Structures are given as structure tokens and as C-alpha cells.
Amino acid sequence: DVKVTQSSRYLVKRTGEKVFLECVQDMDHENMFWYRQDPGLGLRLIYFSYDVKMKEKGDIPEGYSVSREKKERFSLILESASTNQTSMYLCASSLTGGLHSYEQYFGPGTRLTVT
């Protein structure tokens, strides 16, 4: 079974703090993704990565950056947290190529509150 883990389930940070969200997958997947989930808006893609040290902007990258130094680890960084970044953050991974390459496997999520 694919396992995607996220460093924290719940996180409370103050406005202006730098926040790191960590994600690790154990199935040697090439692709990793960061989403945020907000009521009525579904899942929106922040950043994704097709390979180590590679990153691409998703639909809402403003205020975020990412790092992928190792294949299994993908970090989301909030440079200066703001209250509008209060959300559920979901990490996912997937394979490249093959029948199941479209399927993304998600971690349990991190509920971030910025006060």
C-alpha cells in the first residue's frame, strides 16, 4: 500500500511566521503535489514536482514555495503566514506512466490555522 505521511495533523501559527509543511511518500513515486482544500472551492493545486529539484507552479502559488531535495520528500513553505492561508493542506503523490499514472495518493492532511 502507498503511504503518504504529513508531518503534522494540526498546526497553529502566528501571522508573519515562516511555516514548513513536510510530506513523505514511501512508494518511489516521481510526482508529488501540494493542494489546499477550502469549503466550496474543492482542492486547488499550489505546486507540484515531477522530479527531484524540479517544481512547477499550480493554480494558486502566491505566498508559497516548495522544496524537493529527495525523491520521497516534498516540502511546502509559507514564507510569511497570513490569515488567508488558514486551510487544510493536502499532499499527494503519483507514478509517471502506466495504467494507474493518473491516480494520486493523498496524505491525511494538515489543518493549518494562522492567527
Is residue 46 near another protein by the rule CB under 8 A?
Answer: no
The nearer residue to another protein, 77 or 105, going by C-beta atoms, is 105
Q: How far apart are CA 73 and CA 104, in angstroms?
A: 15
Q: What are the residues whose beta carbons fall under 8 Å from the beta carbon of 60, sequence distance 6 or more?
A: 36, 44, 45, 46
Task: Copy the grid coordinates of residue 10.
Answer: 494540526
| DSSP 3-state of 89 | strand
Taking the complex as a whole, how short is the minimal distance between the CB of residue 103 and another protein, in angstroms?
5
The nearer residue to another protein, 46 or 114, going by C-beta atoms, is 46
State how far the alpha carbon of 54 is from the alpha carbons of 30, 68, 81, in Å.
Answer: 11, 7, 24
- Judged by CB under 8 A, the stretch of 13-21, 43-51, 61-69, 73-81 that binds another protein is 43-51
* Range 62-91, binding another protein (CB under 8 A): 90
DSSP letter at 26? S
Task: Count the residues of the shown chain that bind another protein, applying the rule CB under 8 A.
Answer: 27
- Judged by CB under 8 A, the stretch of 14-22, 28-36, 65-73, 75-83 that binds another protein is 28-36
State how far the alpha carbon of 61 is from the alpha carbons of 29, 35, 97, 107, in Å.
Answer: 22, 10, 26, 20
Q: Which residues bind another protein (CB under 8 A)?
A: 4, 9, 31, 33, 35, 40-45, 48, 50, 58, 90, 92, 94, 96, 101-109
